Chains A and B, each alone.
Chain A
């Protein structure tokens, strides 16, 4: 198909204009706007979830986000995103930073930048004990459930090549489907999985988390590609949190022994963005 030349010209001009705006420094824009928009999940306790009492979004990543906003001197705004929508929303500029249980991996580095690693978790599988499954390889040929658009699906397929995977919009729908018996396993980040397991209450005895990790996931904040100013500012805040001991306090507050997750101690430090 041949496009009329004036249309082509218009398209070129539009593309050039768009490219120019995209080159403006994002950090300056954030300061000018007076607010910074964080994309969060809001459905993933304890990283970001709605506190049933206050109805506000709270969590480990929300506290980190608040610290960043405070340091830059702007108002934090939280926007809830679906797992699959995270990277597109960041790329299209509808959120400034992702604080959304985002795994830092090589494939994604071509799309976006990452802050220092803020959390390290393994991905695991929660099963019903009645299924007779003892560890990850037993899942061959079985149906497992998880969320759309994350690393869970590719990771379980890598770990168990012949597994059947059904995905949902949220992790909680996948978890519900497991409870209803629509699959034998539910795949998620260990921290979220432990939290969901704790929610089962008396029914816990019928469930178990398989011992083997299907992968180790470094979680980080997602930053727009090439925005050096934002990356320097964010990493600076994270380093300060680590140096002051605040980072460890946040870990204990959301993941520590007095929480549902009951992690004894932190197995990582916030000091590197290498994976």
Chain B
């Protein structure tokens, strides 16, 4: 196989491809994160809602999503779901970057299911008397959550959420199967074009590892500066 050609990774066309892949991976992860966190909060509240029907909806969502592999989610949201849209909307979507849109939808729904469970545990970690005290003072369910419980719960939830962010970052690599030109896709493309598998995947590995370690570092920093308070 010859020697490891580092020059291939440092400049030139293949470097550009890989870098473009890295940027798209980061964009997908960031967009997904921004959409998934609010959705996760809604799902977590559904699972703790006073109405049985809402709780059931939350449970169905979480269990339905978490028990199906991410690969199946991606294939469904790319090959399956868009076909059910009305013709005009479908054409509009297909004319754009449908690959990235499908990937973000699949990753958002998937990540939100996991984040929702972490947020729910965070909420449950807040002593129930705080909830009761807020209700006794006349706050409704949503106001209690917003003003009393969530501000405390989210702080407890940050470390597991960072861990889910790490998973999300790694999960973006699966989007290659639906033709999203992210980092794994570009690495495979460089491999096909040059037969330099070691170099192409070394770049991808180093990039995933660097971002992952940065996320882990963030978790450690947060833990050090904002330790969970006990009520």
A residues with a Cβ closer than 8 A to B are 84, 87-88, 91, 107-108, 110-111, 145, 148-150, 153-154, 166-169, 173, 176-177, 180-182
- Contact (Cβ within 8 A) B191 A167: no
Say how far B199's CB is from chain A's closest CB, in angstroms: 13
Q: Pick the interface stretch among B61-69, B90-98, B210-218.
A: B90-98
- With A166-B99, A169-B177, A181-B94 as contacts: A84 and B195 at CB distance below 8 Å: no
Task: Write the nearest CB–CB distance from B13 to chain A, whole angstroms.
Answer: 12
Q: Is B144's beta carbon under 8 Å from chain A?
A: no
The 9 A-B pairs with the shortest beta carbon distances in the complex, nearest first, are A166-B179, A149-B192, A111-B195, A181-B94, A182-B94, A168-B179, A169-B177, A182-B98, A84-B188
Contact between chains at B188 and A110 (CB < 8 Å): no
Known contacts A110-B195, A148-B192, A149-B188, A180 near B177 by CB under 8 Å: no
A148 and B188 contact, CB distance less than 8 A: yes
- Once the chains are docked, how many angstroms separate the CA of A181 from the CA of B83? 10
Known contacts A145-B179, A167-B179, A169-B177; decide if A180 and B83 are in contact (CB<8 Å). yes
Determine whether the beta carbon of B91 is less than 8 Å from that of A181: yes
**B169-195 interface code vs A (CB 8 A; 1 in, 0 out):** 000000001110100010011011101
Chain B interface mostly: helix
Q: Range of interface residues on chain B?
A: 20 to 34
* Additional pairs, 20, CB under 8 Å, beyond known A108-B195, A148-B185, A182-B98: A84-B188, A84-B192, A87-B195, A91-B1, A107-B195, A148-B188, A148-B192, A149-B191, A153-B189, A154-B192, A154-B193, A167-B185, A168-B177, A168-B179, A177-B79, A177-B179, A180-B79, A180-B82, A181-B90, A182-B94
Assess whether B197 is interfacial by the CB under 8 Å rule.
yes
Residues of B within 8 A of A153 (CB): 189, 192
CA distance A152 to B206 in the complex (A): 29
Contact of B191 among A84, A150, A154, A173 (CB under 8 A): A84
What's the minimum C-beta distance from A223 to chain B, rounded to whole angstroms? 16
Contacts of A148 in B (CB 8 A): 185, 188-189, 192
Q: Which residues of B contact A150 (CB under 8 A)?
A: 192
Is there contact, CB below 8 Å, between A88 and B94? no
In the bound assembly, the distance between CA atoms of A167 and B193 in angstroms comes to 14
CA–CA, A187 to B142, complex, Å? 54
**Most chain B CB within a 10 A radius of its CB, from A108, A110, A111, A173:** A173
- B42-62 interface with A by 8 A CB criterion: none
16 contacts between A and B (CB under 8 A): A87-B195, A91-B1, A107-B195, A148-B185, A148-B192, A149-B192, A153-B192, A154-B192, A166-B99, A166-B179, A166-B181, A167-B189, A173-B79, A176-B79, A180-B79, A181-B91
Interface members, chain B 127-149 (any A CB < 8 Å): none
Q: Which B-chain residue is minimally distant from A176 (CB atoms)? A: B79
For the complex, what is the distance from the CA of A91 to the CA of B91, rounded to whole Å?
Answer: 43
Query: Measured between C-beta atoms, what is the minimum distance from A222 to chain B in Å?
Result: 13
State the CA gap A108–B188 with chains docked (Å): 16
Q: Chain B residues near A108 (CB, 8 Å)?
A: 195
Q: Which residues of B contact A91 (CB under 8 A)?
A: 1
Which B residues touch A177, using CB under 8 A? 79, 179
Cα A91 to Cα B197 with chains together (Å):
12
CA distance A168 to B74 in the complex (A): 13
Shortest distance in angstroms between B73's beta carbon and chain A's nearest beta carbon?
16
* CB closest residue in chain B, given A111: B195
Q: In whole angstroms, how far apart are the Cα atoms of A111 and B99 in the complex?
A: 33
What are the residues of chain A within 8 A of B193 when measuring CB–CB?
Answer: 154
Bound Cα distance from A36 to B129, whole angstroms: 71
Q: Which residues on the A side are within 8 Å of B94 (C-beta)?
A: 180-182
Q: A107 — which chain B residues lie within 8 A by C-beta?
A: 195
Q: How far is the CA of A88 from the CA of B1 in the complex (A)?
A: 11
In the complex formed, the residue of B with least CB distance to A82 is B188
Closest chain A residue, CB of each to CB of B83: A180
Contacts of A176 in B (CB 8 A): 79
Give the Cβ gap from A119 to chain B, nearest Cβ, in Å: 21
Residues in A whose Cβ lies below 8 Å from that of B192: 84, 148-150, 153-154
B177 neighbours in A (Cβ, 8 Å): 168-169
B-chain residues with CB within 8 Å of residue A169 when the two chains form the complex: 177
A108–B177 Cα gap in the complex (Å)?
25
A16 to B111, CA, bound (A): 47
Residues of A within 8 A of B181 (CB): 166
How many angstroms from the CA of A267 to the CA of B91 in the assembled complex?
A: 41
Find the residue from B99, B177, B179 having the highest chain A CB count within 10 A.
B179
